[in-house]
């Protein structure tokens, strides 16, 4: 039996460390090639690691929550598959295996071929594949003898009796008191945990699948409730809507009793301070922002924009059959405006490079493609995935790319490759109701645009004060590459598209 050790790989470009967030396997589990072993958090994203080996997990070498260097062994897998019996595991039969009909001769001299009275009946002998089964566990001494009319090799399963509502209520009280309670199942479930009937004894564990109708599962997902934690009172043992309501009410009551954010009065000073380790995405973001703020001289400018026609355009797109089922927002028009304006002012889509060829020389690399970054706030911190070659996308294709980017980022599934190679970034702070701000340039780029909220304000148009949809754009630029004149022309071009989206047709 060979033992294989899996070392932490570099899942990105030049990553040096990662944190083991959650193991998806445990010692004794069987794994196949490409089965997910664990989730790791790198400086860029949350990544699932597939297994390069097939076999049985023997040991988890790194616990959850620990940050380790690339190349460190994290798990060992043997090439033996768990559950496969070896010849030593299969006991030799005490008596010769009987054929399907009649019986074997007692010895070489017995050639009668007849079956004595009380001999085996048709189908009552061991099956042909009996030697491949796991050894039968000894039945408890208190187990009653099976009826003579039942086949001796048939699986014996104790019936599961339905629970009354009073019993369920008693179990619920036990759960609230912290008493361990087995899972309740009122159906005629005969499948064991390993999806096979349990032989020679009572059922010791039921399948983990909790019975519930799709609408109930959706409500549980929306409320963040694990159905396995809910006491089921349905007729067939399923979790009902009323069970979820009861569980949520109990959870809310427990939450109300808990201390709030300021509920630390009277406690020692060290218990009134929450310490959050800086690692993963937050550590990488902090390092990048410090380097950007103090290496690239920032200059910021702002412009108020009448986006009323953009709002009308978005409304028409939503009603269009071509955009049916596609989420459309003013951010789509801004993204298209930034691409259009960058084509007219190419130096905003560039990179400043120091130490060219190992010398003190520097150069400006203007990109003739647009990998448009969209800053996304996620539960794990700020991420900036980008849309590759955004300049080649139609308006609908750009809308679909934005929707996919946002969905993936919120789910925490953004991959490192999706955050590499960005050329210019948009940060949509207006989604939080903020008018504008002074964003910090994403490292490796020279420009970033902040998109403020769009709201109705009094606006002077043709000498009259009327309500219009107004937004404020804020832009930050690396002054080594983008001077004041270029930054102003770029922001004016972006504003022009928001004021008149029809210019995109030119």
Handedness of CA 94, 95, 96, 100 (dihedral sign): negative
C-alpha closest to that of 402 among 451, 313, 330: 330
DSSP summary character for residue 187:
S
The strand pair at 447-451 and 424-427 is best described as: parallel
Cα first-last separation, the chain: 69
* Contact of 188 with 235, CB cutoff 8 Å: no
3-state class of 476 per DSSP?
Answer: strand
Whether residue 70 contacts residue 17, with contact meaning beta carbons closer than 8 Å, is answered with yes
CA distance 296 to 443: 9
d(CA 337, CA 51): 44
118 torsion bin: left (phi>0), alpha (psi -120 to 50), beta (else): left
DSSP conformation class of 300: E
Phi, psi (5° rounding) for residue 469? -85, 110
Strand partners, 299: 477
19: left (phi over 0), alpha (psi -120 to 50) or beta: beta
Tokens of 151: 């086949």
The residue behind tokens 């033992």 is 3
Classify residue 356 by its DSSP letter. G
- Residue-by-residue DSSP string for 92-103: PPSSPPP-SSS-
Using only the alpha carbons of the chain, give its radius of gyration: 34
Locate 266 and state its tokens. 């009277």
Length of the chain: 506
What 3-state class would DSSP assign to 194? coil
Instruction: Give the active site residue among 163, 255, 368, 479.
Output: 479
Q: Using DSSP, how many helices (H) and how many strands (E) does the chain show?
A: 8, 18
- Helices 241-257 and 214-223, packing angle to 10 deg: 10
Give the burial class of 271: count Cβ atoms within 10 A of its Cβ; 0-12 exposed, 13-18 middle, 19 or more buried.
exposed
Residue 66 and residue 73 in contact, taking contact as beta carbons nearer than 8 Å: no
Task: Provide the token pair at 196.
Answer: 């096979």
CB 8 within 8 A of CB 70: yes
255 counts as catalytic: no
Q: Torsion angle, CA of 47/53/55/61, rounded to 10 degrees?
A: -60
> Catalytic residues, which ones?
479
């Amino acid at each position: 039996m060979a033992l294989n050790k899996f070392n932490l790989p570099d899942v990105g470009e030049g990553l040096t460390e990662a944190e083991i967030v959650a193991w998806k396997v445990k010692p004794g589990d069987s794994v196949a090639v490409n089965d997910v072993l664990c989730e790791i958090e790198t400086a860029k994203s949350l990544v699932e690691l597939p297994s390069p080996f097939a076999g049985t997990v023997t040991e988890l070498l790194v616990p959850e929550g620990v940050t380790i260097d690339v190349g460190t062994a994290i798990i060992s897998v043997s090439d033996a598959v768990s559950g496969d019996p070896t010849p030593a595991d299969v006991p030799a039969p005490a008596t010769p295996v009987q054929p399907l009909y009649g019986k074997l001769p007692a010895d070489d001299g017995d050639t009668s071929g007849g079956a004595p009275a009380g001999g085996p009946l048709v189908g009552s002998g061991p099956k042909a594949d009996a030697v491949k089964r796991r050894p039968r566990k000894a039945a408890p001494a208190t187990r009653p003898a099976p009826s003579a009319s039942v086949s001796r090799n048939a699986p014996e399963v104790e019936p599961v009796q339905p629970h009354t509502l009073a019993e369920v209520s008693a179990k619920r009280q036990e759960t609230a008191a912290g008493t361990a309670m087995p899972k309740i199942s009122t159906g005629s479930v005969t499948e064991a945990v390993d999806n096979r009937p349990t032989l020679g004894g009572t059922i010791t564990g039921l399948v983990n699948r909790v019975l519930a109708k799709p609408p109930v599962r959706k409500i549980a997902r929306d409320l963040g409730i694990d159905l396995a934690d809910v006491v089921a009172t349905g007729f067939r043992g399923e979790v009902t809507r009323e069970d979820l309501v009861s569980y949520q009410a109990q959870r809310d009551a427990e939450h109300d009793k808990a201390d709030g954010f300021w509920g630390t009065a009277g406690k020692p000073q060290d218990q009134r301070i929450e310490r959050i380790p800086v690692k993963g995405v937050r550590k990488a973001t902090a390092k990048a922002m410090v380097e950007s703020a103090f290496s690239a001289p920032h200059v910021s400018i702002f412009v108020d924009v009448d986006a009323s026609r953009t709002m009308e355009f978005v409304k028409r797109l939503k009603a269009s059959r071509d955009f049916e089922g596609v989420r459309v927002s003013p951010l789509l028009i801004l993204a298209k405006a930034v691409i259009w304006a960058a084509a007219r002012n190419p130096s905003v889509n560039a990179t400043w490079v120091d130490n060219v060829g190992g010398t003190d020389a520097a150069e400006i690399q203007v990109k003739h493609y647009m990998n448009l970054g969209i800053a996304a706030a996620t539960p794990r911190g700020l991420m900036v995935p980008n849309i590759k070659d955004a300049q080649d996308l139609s308006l609908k294709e750009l809308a679909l790319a934005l929707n996919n980017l946002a969905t993936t980022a919120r789910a925490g599934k953004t991959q490192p490759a999706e955050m590499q190679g960005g050329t210019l970034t948009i940060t949509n702070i207006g989604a939080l109701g903020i008018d504008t701000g002074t964003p910090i340039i994403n490292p490796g780029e020279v420009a970033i645009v902040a998109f403020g909220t769009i709201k109705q304000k009094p606006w002077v148009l043709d000498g009259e004060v009327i309500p219009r949809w107004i937004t404020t754009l804020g832009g930050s630029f690396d002054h080594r590459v983008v001077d004041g004149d270029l930054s102003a022309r770029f922001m004016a071009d972006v504003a022009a598209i928001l004021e008149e989206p029809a210019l995109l047709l030119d």
